[in-house]
Amino acid sequence: MLYDLEANILCWELAKDSIYTTKEFGNFIIHLSKVGKPVLIEVLDASKFIGQFNSLQKKGLEPIPPISMV
């Protein structure tokens, strides 16, 4: 996972595959392989996204643990 402070973008690389197309869902951009497998997820305006997790923790709610991509 990488965070670009200047661009305020959070990126998760999910697979080592070539990007064929992208789908945009609000502040999320999902890059897909030719067979439709997610390769990379970008979160735009990432500081706002991270702030929402911090808000949940302050309310006593635990975020869902990440899934291992083995």
pLDDT digits (tens, 9 = 90+) for 8-48: 998 999 999 999 999 999 999 999 999 999 999 999 998 88
Residue 68 has a pLDDT of 47
Residue 21 has a pLDDT of 97
Domain boundaries defined on the chain = 2-58
Q: Structure pTM?
A: 0.69
- Residue 62: band (very low, low, confident or very high) from pLDDT cuts 50, 70, 90: low
Angle at the Cα of 23 (from 21 to 25), degrees rounded to 5? 165
Residue 25 has a pLDDT of 94
Residue 56 has a pLDDT of 52
